[in-house]
Amino acid sequence: MTALSERQIQIVRTLVEQAPDHVVGGLSQALSGAAPDASPDDASGNALGGVRRLVEAEVADRTLRNAILQPMIAMCGPPPDDRVLAFPARALAATWRGLKASEPDLIERLQAAEVLELSCHHIADAQDRLARAAAAGVRARGNPDYAAASEACDAARAGGADLFARCLDITPVVRRALPRLPEWITHTGKETAANARIAYRDAVAVADDAGPIFFHMLAGQLAQRWMVMRLISAVMDKPTERYLRDSELAGFCEGLLDEIDQALATIATLRSDQGRAAAGTAARVVDLTVQRILEIETNVEMPRDHGWGKRLAKQRAALAGLVEARMREAEHCAREALPLHTPRSHKAGGQKARGQAPQLSEPPQPDAVERALTLLTFVDGLNLSSNYGGFSAARNKAVEALGEFLERYVDSVLDLVRTQDVDDMDHAAAFLEIAAQFSCLIRGEKTGELVRRRAHATLNPDLSHACEA
């Protein structure tokens, strides 16, 4: 493999610069075995070594960029929806290029921080100065790269460049808050609330209207963005609905209510023929929806007869209705997959009905079994959320009814097997395995395994006696 030409090197450099962070990190790992200092005469390693040097330089450059502009990283990329404050990824890249052109000495100082033995205080001060310089550069479009960043933001949304610069303005405040963010989210209390209020006051000291931006930037650092409601509640001392609605932060709660509506629409689309993966996804959506509802109820004081409180109560009722409908359907599908019939014994004087018994003359119907497994997977996934979602009683009732049906069904099949009243033992074995799978989803793996052991012992009596001997 010969050395890359200058044009090829430029193409590779452009591709690497435009790639997301995780792609660059993957390239760095993939090229770790290539010799970075291969000589031009080394035909086997020179080209890969050159690419590795490019990638390693990009990794080092991004590491420094991400440290300086850390709060902006999560905000630059495709937004999940219109309620999220986000900017084009190319705006961040262009801002960084502009910053390197306008503040080369300060950036070189940070690059050599370890050699210069700079203290944490001096490093943080240099990072803050660079963030403010970036904000000023984007506003003034001070060089071609800053101008490109501004144009990219304006193209994405009206007034995007100004909004981007305002985020850069409070980047120092947000950066100082980030190490404490996990504690603020998981350990709410007077002390954490006081620290959150201080950070909020620092943000609005930079600009009066910086409050919503501050919370948007913190939300971007959270796995579940809606957990930022805990910080809003802490800063506002658990506000009433009226107080929050009249504030500039009302959009966070309204956005969360909109997300619940979207989730309800998603849950309503679940069908028994969509498969178990879709059912598992729908169950997770239910779980997240319950968490969102609890987040609002916990962090905002609101009545249930009007406004947000009334809307939330309707959403709770709608969620319970959707879930309970799927539970009833799950029970119906399970019974359909394990069909029964009414046998008749002929006796003198007429026929006497013996009650329902398993229908084992035909093999199981795969489509019916899969429909039941899909909905039972959904029911199984609601184990944790049902207690807080308002449908635990309905779930317990459905699980108990279906569990008793499965017990009776398994006992009946095993009795038929013992009395040799089965036309095809393979059919009996197949239906018992289906009952075991259903039992796993309804009452747990141990119950399902117990069904399998009983079925094996009954279907293979000679083998079982031999094992006991």
**pLDDT over 90 (residue 169):** yes
d(CA 256, CA 265): 14
* Per-residue DSSP letter, 302: -
378, with CB counted inside 10 A (0-12, 13-18, 19+), is buried
Q: What is the pLDDT of residues 90-134, one digit of tens each?
A: 999 999 999 999 999 999 989 888 777 888 899 999 999 999 999
pLDDT 10s digits, 63-93: 888 889 999 998 987 766 666 789 998 999 9
Give the model confidence (pLDDT) of 247-302 as tens digits: 999 999 999 999 999 999 999 999 999 999 999 999 999 999 999 999 999 999 99
Torsion of CA 265, 268, 273, 274, to 10 degrees: 30
Element (H, E) at 346: strand 344-347
Could you give the CA distance from residue 272 to residue 284 in angstroms, rounded to a whole number? 16
Q: 165, exposed or middle or buried, with CB in 10 Å at 0-12, 13-18, 19+?
A: buried
Q: What is the DSSP string of 431-445?
A: HHHHHHHHHHHHH-H
Q: What is the pLDDT of residues 138-151, one digit of tens each?
A: 999 989 999 999 99
What is the pLDDT confidence band of residue 52, given thresholds at 50, 70 and 90? confident
Residue with tokens 């980030």: 178
Q: Per-residue pLDDT for 356 more than 50?
A: yes
- Structural domain boundaries in the chain: 6-68, 73-236, 238-341+362-469
The predicted structure's pLDDT at residue 353: 43
Q: Does residue 467 surpass a pLDDT of 70?
A: no
% of the chain residues with pLDDT over 70:
84
Closest to 224 measured CA to CA, from 136, 284, 168:
284
Q: Which residues contact 460 (CB under 8 A, 6 or more apart)?
A: none
Model pTM?
0.81
**CB distance 140 to 146 below 8 Å:** yes
Amino acid type, 171: T
Contact 54, 10 (CB under 8 A): no
Is residue 227 scored above 70 in pLDDT?
A: yes
Q: Residue 286 has what pLDDT?
A: 97
The pLDDT tens digits of the residues spanning 21-33 come to 666 666 666 666 6
Q: Which of 112-126, 332-346, 356-370 is modeled with the greatest confidence?
A: 356-370
Average pLDDT, the chain: 87
CA distances 66 to 74, 128, 238, Å, are 10, 13, 34
Question: Helix (H, G, I), strand (E, B), or coil: what is residue 353?
Answer: strand
